[in-house]
Chains A and B, each alone.
Chain A
Amino acid sequence: MRGEMTTLGETCQFFNGKAHEKHIDAEGQFVVVNSKFISTDGEVKKFTSKQMFPLVEDDIVMVMSDVPNGKALAKCYLIEENGKYSLNQRICSIRTTKFNIRFLYYQLNRHPYLLAFNNGENQTNLRKGDILDCPLWKPTLEVQKQIVAILDQAFAAIDQAKANIEKNIENAKELFQSKLNEIFSQKGEGWEEKTLGEVSQIKPNKRETKQFLKEDDDVSFVPMKYLGENKMYFNSPEVKKFKDTYSGYVYFKDGDVVLAKITPCFENGKLGIAKGLKNGVGFGSSEYIPYRVNESLIFNEYLYFFMNRASFRKKGERLMSGAVGHKRIQPGFYEEELIPLPSLEEQKKISSKIKSIQTALDNADGYYNQKLDHLEELKKSILQKAFAGELTMSEPMIVSDLMMGYD
């Protein structure tokens, strides 16, 4: 490996920051370089009017303290302007003329030697001595510049790739909603429009339970937390005696589509079809609206998909009414909203189709997220190879092996 191994202490100057807590001033003209600033890459700033430790261009600042397994430990930031920053305590500043600064920044940022001081149990506090002992690879300035050029380009490309993937993750969600809206605004042959109240019995009267349940029978008790978001079926592990749940709770049966009416549950999409309830009967929050479908008119999964849409929720939310903090959707909406109704057979086909689209998009989502993880790993491994001296003209094989499987 070309170039020498050295340590930080032999090549750089080290400075400790000063405590700024008592001098934080939102109107101040200096940015306080603290842990949050560095960990958010300069997004979150606190200000001061007392520049207790001035920083200059090309200073590398690094976080020295963090919680166990924290993401900020040994994270670095490159100061790009004079007269703008002041160094906080527990952050250090590294100055050198012996390295290409960007090269040093890449190498020092989250350096494994320093990360090793984290024991996963207690707060990590790097000491000056620890940092000075940090091993560094110092090739010629020429090689340093080459490596910086490669890293800059590679990382820019990775960041762009990540941005594309993140956009596609959002696109997939939008695609699903758009397709759903397309399906539910069809006006095909033989399609009718009916209100939700016409196709189902809303809030069936619990008196009917007395005909088939006895006092001591078990029923499922379903608090709001068990009504899922984007989960078609719901149930609850809690079981109570019929006599203890009859008063004061809303009643529903297996197969009923249950919608939460109060904010923010409604907007968050709490909705589901009851399945597997004890004795087929459930009781739950008074904020539930159960829909018992008229099976000759509508298929319950079709109703579920109709209601499980962003545009349905947006509309209901706009028409919500009530005191602040207790807004609820109104009967004018949850009873009168029109649903397009094809034949039962067509409804079943549609539900099936929606499920397959959902599965396909879930797969795409999983794939994209996996790609994101891979790209992060790629960054790390490129850095590792770079500072093991392997990222140069003479060692192509190992790195391109790395690239297989990342498409």
Chain B
Amino acid sequence: MVHDTADFVPYSTRADGSIVIAAQHSFDEHRGEVRLRVEAETLRAVFEEAARALCELTAGGCTAPPDATPVRVVLRAIDLEALFADWLNELIFLSETRKEVFPDVHVEQITDQDVVATVRGVEPSVVRTPVKAATMHDLHVALDDGTWKASIVLDV
């Protein structure tokens, strides 16, 4: 299944007129690690928001400079949840090897098994929480009542 890749809209409106913020994330309590939860209107937005959340967790709020070198990410996995874990693990790998975090993320194409994206990074001035890996423990990515929801545990 190919998922909508139209230009990202920050919010949408329900039939009853209420506003739905398109993407949001939270970090939940876990004894030793960190659980990331993401909600968004589209799967593309879930992946982009998760990337921004990873950046925030690692280095706080930051912005990529206009001349940041774009890095292309092309991934394939056996299913959507494995793809989500691979996505975050790729960003963790790129962070550690390029010494950057990636606040600027654009997913160009996404299916249940493939993602193509461009990310642009910045060297963090401070590292708050280094992330070792995204785990497959209690990993969920699913459409729930019109909203895409994802949950993943990060080893920090």
Do the two shown chains form a genuine complex with each other? Answer: no
